[in-house]
Structure 1
Amino acid sequence: MIVQIAEKKPTDHSPVVVKMVKQDDTRGKIITCKAAVAYGPGEPFVVEQVQVHPPQKMEVRIKILFTSICHTDLSAWQGENEAQCAYPRIFGHEASGIVESAGEGVEDLKEGDNVVAIFNGECGECGYCKREETNKCERFGVNPMKKVMVSDGKSRFATVDGRPIYHFLNTSTFSEYTVLDSACVVKLPSATEVDLKKLTLLSCGVSTGVGAAWNTANVSSGSTVAVFGLGAVGLAVAEGARARGASKIIGVDINPDKFIKGQAMGITDFINPRDEKKAVYERIREMTGGGVDYSFECAGIVDVLRDAFLSAHQGWGLTVVLGIHPSPRMLPIHPMELFDGRQIVASVFGGFKGKTQLPHFAKQCMHGVVKLDEFITHELPFEQINKAFELLVSGKSLRCVLHL
């Protein structure tokens, strides 16, 4: 079997060179490889040998070359949401790699294809996938409770002594090899056109943020925008608004260092709520003559959501919810406030239909429409995954890319 292996330097941001090498044929066989296994909420990851079984009908086994860490991985690992319920587990959902083998019935992917994993799949056949109004998929949509494969209700991972290891978010990318439903694998442009390391970010964070600005809000040129929470998703929103020609992009965060980073991605003004004597939404109304055209809540905090909603202009302002809200608290909005003309909507995966639309978005990114380099703040070898999580917890990294 011929596969593509990326030659990479873990400490710099130089382009990835992908070369062709010959390997033993692993099709149809169990592969023993290293993975980062979580044995309980908040427990350090254990990098150990695991078994990865062959793909079954409509499944694909891919060799992971790069994987990065998202706040969703962090909150699930810490036990902040429903995803904590099954252990041992292999987390991770942002990754790029190559197809090692494809199961029965898979026609759009073949061995050696460059791919990214997506947590919000697209089967292309269900009633949801056939509607333009949604990017949800009836069978393969985002589901933090899912821990086994759809085809037979079993895991494709096991410890070396045969005990099952559960899947996470349709992907489980903290492993040298992983098995996904083909609906959750997107083929990218050929290796001569693509830098797989950067396109890893399209699996979640960048697609979610940019897509919210482009697809969900449809930010227009000359408009005003407020982004609440300047993590990777929030900064991706800013980058998407910048690419659309927004005239003012206000970033809101309690970390002043985020403004320095955000300026490179289009943030024009910065508000630190801790420095303000009045409500943030009042400050934004003052800065924009009544409120912004679009506000984006990326923090996952209900009180922040209220500020975001009230910072949108009466009559036409739109608030897009992107943050994950583990708290059982309800929306802090009085029904009568909706009669002021403001609207509120949530966005999943930026409204992108993964298999249909992401390949074109990947080409746009590689042509510089969206700048991906700024999002990668750290790179480490896979064995240092616990250090990568520490960087995210401390707020020092946007995206740390791990090299497998």
Structure 2
Amino acid sequence: MSLKMDIIGLLSQYEHGKFSNILLNDYFKEKETELPGLTRGEKGFITEVFYGVIRNVMFLDYSIDKRVKSIDKLWVRNLLRLSMYQIHFMDSDDAGVVYEGVEVAKLRGGTFIGSFVNGVLRSFIREKDEDIEKLLEEGREDIVLSYPKWFFDEIKWEHKENYLEILKSYKKIPNISVKINKLNYNEEDFLGLLEIKGIKILKKVEDVYYIDSGMILETSEFKRGQITVQDGSSFLAAKYLDPQPGERILDTCSAPGGKSMAMAEMMGNEGEIVALDIHEHKLKLIESRTKQMGIDIVHPELMDARLVDAEFGAESFDRVLVDAPCSGFGVIRKKPEVLYTKKMKNVQELAKLQLDILNAAAKVVKVGGTLVYSTCTILNKENLENVTRFLKTNPNFEVEKVEISPNVNGSFDKLGGLNIFDEFLDGFYMIKLKKIEK
């Protein structure tokens, strides 16, 4: 019962504008100082319910508002949300969920609130399947799947054949993904560590492993920089740039630095990677992590990526990675609140920023050099449409085809850009461009 009280508190803080991942990390750190502390199962339960409510809040609120005229207290709504989430989305004992919900309500609000919660939850159990069937008949799949209608309609328009598959995939619980630092660690030792810890590999993409436990983050190997957190899509963006030892590389929007570090490994820690960001505190994190990993060719610099041509001069880099600031709709498994904080207006503003960065970055690529443009979003306005505009005004660039890696689900657009839609990997777009003489 105390766990549910904690989740209600976390949800209330989230409602007041705090980031979900920071909230949960701070909560777990605080609990580590207490005895006996949280078990692995308790951490998993809290994580699933907290993020699950956020992912599915539109359907949960629809289900509440259908049964209740108004709720004055936010904690009561959050209690109903988390109880309904357990009932509908988890393999839970419905009667047990109702009992716990009523007890929490009585403890915090008295007998009347307890009776109110009991009635709402029992009505939901009886009628939820009928509610969903009616919503589907009315064409309101957006509510059933908890997507803002503008976003649902956009994905349906762009991906007519598999939009439901894509949208359902982004409501799944994400798995942690890590890669080993090949500069000071090897796969054999890593696999041995997983066996000792009882951690299973769910999927492998190139050098990235999707595993079934976050316990790996508590190991000395992680703290020494021998293991790092990285998504497969992020790694592929770095891989497709194909950085070589001794080259000069520009990472225009580098924080949190995973792609710069991956490229440094590919280069055998030989050459130079200039890693830009507009936030000084993020550059300090990159400095700390590269030092921990034994990487000394990454040089963080505070700079607006739109100014790179003025700062560095024309044709000053062998290869350039533009992993542009974006709406983040490809990482909504990990950051579900993105769905509710971004609008089409934000997408249009970001698309302009992305194109400005891309145009500036193109000028510093050497003739014969490579530029990779990538985003962690799945909207064409930030991807295909932006690259189409870029190629019209930059005829000295041509698309280089990339081979999709084994074990990755994705498709190519008409330009040759890769859209990744995978139940494990983040949603990503990437296209490889070569600068030619014209």
TM-score (normalizing by structure 2)? 0.38
Q: Which has the higher strand share?
A: 1
Max Rg structure:
2
The structure, 1 or 2, with the larger RCO (C-alpha pairs under 8 Å, 6+ apart) is 1
Q: Which has the higher helix share?
A: 2
